[in-house]
């Protein structure tokens, strides 16, 4: 049976706060917001209005979730109640559990199609209905429901249904506390050698204050988004994101970032779409402004069965506040693949860019490569496990400095792993406990760019 479109295509693949940007100063951005921002507003018409009786029934079923989760009859009742109450995300989770254990349950597949229609995804709804007709022999009553659902899809596509998603902003807020082994971004080696031209080499010991220093930390993350669907099937998305990190003993390395973005997606057919977007991202280090990044982008996406493929181009301006020689223009080419099957989700993404500085700087032009792989597993009704592996390679096209390795071209590679264990605290999943572990290592042919960091965070997240 088919799986279903995620809203990867409703935001540009390169939008700062919704894409895989786990590099440089924004090393944790992607994992913070990628998975929470994956659905349209729950009130999307048709069928988006919540019935009071259905909500009461849904609440009663949610109170039984701890004892009855995993029972197909219960999960089906929960899914139908959530669908009628205008909670399509909850309905989709429950109904997918049903068909995972009972793949021959045609009625549950039909309800899944209705969920996708409620989410505004007529293509996925249509694909599920086609699969029911292909794999089952629907009895007359079920066939009448399929015909009625196809009429709703036709109305949706023809614009006779109002599709303005004006319900509310959605997003999440998380507060976590923990420890970083390298709060000051200290150098990972105890010393290196200077190589002045025409002179003897000079060994240099790294000063203690330049070595890694661990510190307790507190981190706040928040994201909010709103999607507006138009009569022609296109969608406009607005997004805001912020993250702040404060260390107990490293005030100069407090970090903050704010990102704003807008994107517009237009359907090109039943399985293809195009998008354009723009974003702004501001970085703060210590008590001073560090940089502002501006970007515009465009992309294409195509759905291939259980997976979606995307390609994008982006043009980025990086404006540093004090050190102007870091400022640069960076054109990017990128692509991604996301798949979903049962309790598992996967996402692969990569992009390559040419960092062209506005002024003279050590290393000159830089070629940047970024790649990541993410996996999410719904272990049980309450528990999820998320894993992320990311790789970054920066290579200068000019020699970095004659004092380091006789003016060698700098190469820096970052390899990182992140693991997040989540557990729902409340039955509706709005409150969630999180345990996050991360390890990253910067490797370079120049010793002063070798860094290591390990982090552990524990906290809660609230989704709204």
> Do 222 and 321 belong to one domain?
yes
How many domains are contained in the chain?
2
The verdict on 381 and 345 lying in the same domain is: yes
Claim to verify: residue 131 and residue 223 sit in the same structural domain: no
Whichever domain contains 338, its CATH number is 2.40.160.40
- Reported as type and span, the H/E element at residue 147 is helix 140-158
The answer to whether residues 329 and 354 touch, using CB atoms and an 8 Å cutoff, is: no
Report the candidate in 329, 294, 338, 295 with the shortest Cα–Cα distance to residue 313.
295
How far apart are the C-alpha atoms of 345 and 422, rounded to whole Å?
15
The last residue of a domain, from among 133, 158, 183: 158
Backbone angles phi, psi at 67, to 5 degrees: -90, -25
The pLDDT of residue 6 is: 28
Q: Residue 349: helix, strand or coil by DSSP?
A: strand
pLDDT at 33: 30
Q: Of 109, 117, 106, 107, nearest to 152 (Cα)?
A: 117
Q: Which of 135, 158, 181 is the last residue of a domain?
A: 158
Same domain for 133 and 185: no
Is residue 433 situated within a structural domain?
yes
Residues of the chain with pLDDT below 50 are 1-50, 161-167
- What residue has token string 């009071």? 52
Cis bond before residue 302 (omega within 30° of 0):
no
- Same-domain pairing of 197 and 267: yes
The answer, as to whether pTM is greater than 0.75, is no
The span from the CA of 159 to the CA of 153, in Å, is 10
234 domain-assigned: yes
Which residue, of 158, 177, 203, is where some domain finishes? 158
In-domain check, residue 229: yes
| In a shared domain, residues 333 and 369 | yes
Residue 154 sits in the same domain as residue 172:
no
Q: Look at residue 462 in the predicted model and tell me its pLDDT.
A: 96
Q: Are residues 179 and 299 in the same domain?
A: yes
Q: Which residue has the tokens 């049976």?
A: 1
User: Is residue 47 in a domain?
Assistant: no
* pLDDT reported for residue 158: 61
409-424/191-194 β-pairing:
unpaired
Q: Which residues pair with 179 in a beta bridge?
A: 216, 456
Render pLDDT for 217-233 as a digit per residue (tens, 0 to 9). 999 999 999 888 777 77
Q: What is the DSSP letter of 58?
A: H
pLDDT of residue 51: 52
* CA-wise closest residue to 235 among 44, 422, 106: 44
* C-alpha to C-alpha distance for 318 and 358, rounded to whole angstroms: 10
449 belongs to a structural domain: yes
365 & 217 share domain = yes
Taking the C-alpha atoms of residue 312 and residue 295, their distance in angstroms, rounded to an integer, is 13
Residue 32 lies in a domain: no
Residues 107, 229: one domain?
no
Is 385 part of a structural domain of the chain?
Answer: yes
Judge if 271 and 133 occupy the same domain: no
Residue closest to 30 by CA, chosen among 302, 377, 288, 374:
374
Q: Which residue has the tokens 């996301």?
A: 338
Rounded (10°) CA dihedral 189, 190, 193, 194:
90
* CATH at 122: 1.25.40.10
**E runs forming strands in 248-271:** 255-267
Provide the residue range defining the domain that includes 141: 52-158
Residue 334, helix vs strand vs coil: strand
Reduced 3-state DSSP string for 231-242: CCCCEEEEEEEE
Same domain? For 142 and 182 the reply is no
Q: Tell me how far CA of residue 421 lies from CA of 30, 89, 146, 428, 433, in angstroms.
A: 16, 20, 39, 18, 8
Residue 1: strand, helix, or coil: coil
Structure confidence at residue 52 (pLDDT): 66
Whether 14 maps to a domain, the answer reads no
End-to-end CA distance of the chain: 31
Residue whose pair of structure tokens reads 């609230």 in the numeric block: 462
The predicted pLDDT at position 142 comes to: 83
Contact 39, 337 (CB under 8 A): no
């Amino acid at each position: 049976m088919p799986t279903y479109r995620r809203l990867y295509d409703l935001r540009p693949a390169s939008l700062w706060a919704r894409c895989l940007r786990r590099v440089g100063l924004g090393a944790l951005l992607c994992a913070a917001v990628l998975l929470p921002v994956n659905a349209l507003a729950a009130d999307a018409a048709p069928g988006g209005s919540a019935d009071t009786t259905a909500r009461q029934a849904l609440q009663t079923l949610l109170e039984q979730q701890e004892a009855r989760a995993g029972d197909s009859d219960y999960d089906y009742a929960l899914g139908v109640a959530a669908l009628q109450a205008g909670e399509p995300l909850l309905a989709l989770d429950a109904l997918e559990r049903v068909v995972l254990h009972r793949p021959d349950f045609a009625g549950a597949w039909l309800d899944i199609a209705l969920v996708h229609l409620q989410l505004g995804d007529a293509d996925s709804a249509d694909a599920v209905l086609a699969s029911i007709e292909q794999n089952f022999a629907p009895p007359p009553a079920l066939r009448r429901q399929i015909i009625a659902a196809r009429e709703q899809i036709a109305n949706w596509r023809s614009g006779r249904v109002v599709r303005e998603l004006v319900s509310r902003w959605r997003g999440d807020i998380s507060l976590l506390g923990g420890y970083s082994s390298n709060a000051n971004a200290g150098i990972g080696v105890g010393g290196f050698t200077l190589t002045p031209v025409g002179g003897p080499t000079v060994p240099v010991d790294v000063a203690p204050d330049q070595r890694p220093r661990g510190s307790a930390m507190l981190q706040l993350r928040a994201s909010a988004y709103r999607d507006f669907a138009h009569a022609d099937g296109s969608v406009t998305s607005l997004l805001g994101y912020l993250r702040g990190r404060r260390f107990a003993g490293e005030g100069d390395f407090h970090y903050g970032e704010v990102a704003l973005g807008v994107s517009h997606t237009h359907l090109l057919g039943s399985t293809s779409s195009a998008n354009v977007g723009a974003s702004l991202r501001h970085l703060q280090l210590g008590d001073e402004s560090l940089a502002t990044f501006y970007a515009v982008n465009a992309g294409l996406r195509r759905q291939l069965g259980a997976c979606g493929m995307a390609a994008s181009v982006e043009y980025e301006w990086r404006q540093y506040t004090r050190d102007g020689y870091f400022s640069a223009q960076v054109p990017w080419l990128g692509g991604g693949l996301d798949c979903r099957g049962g309790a598992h989700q996967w996402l692969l993404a990569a992009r390559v860019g040419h960092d062209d500085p506005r002024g003279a700087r050590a290393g000159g032009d830089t070629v940047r490569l970024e790649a990541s792989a993410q996996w999410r597993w719904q272990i049980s009704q309450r528990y999820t496990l998320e894993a992320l592996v990311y790789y970054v390679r920066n290579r200068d096209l000019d020699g970095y400095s004659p004092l380091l390795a006789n003016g060698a071209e700098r190469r820096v590679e970052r390899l990182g792993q992140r693991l997040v264990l989540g557990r729902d605290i409340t039955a509706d999943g709005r409150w969630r406990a999180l345990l996050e572990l991360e390890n990253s290592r910067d490797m370079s042919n120049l010793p002063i760019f070798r860094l290591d960091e390990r982090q552990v965070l524990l906290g809660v997240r609230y989704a709204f």
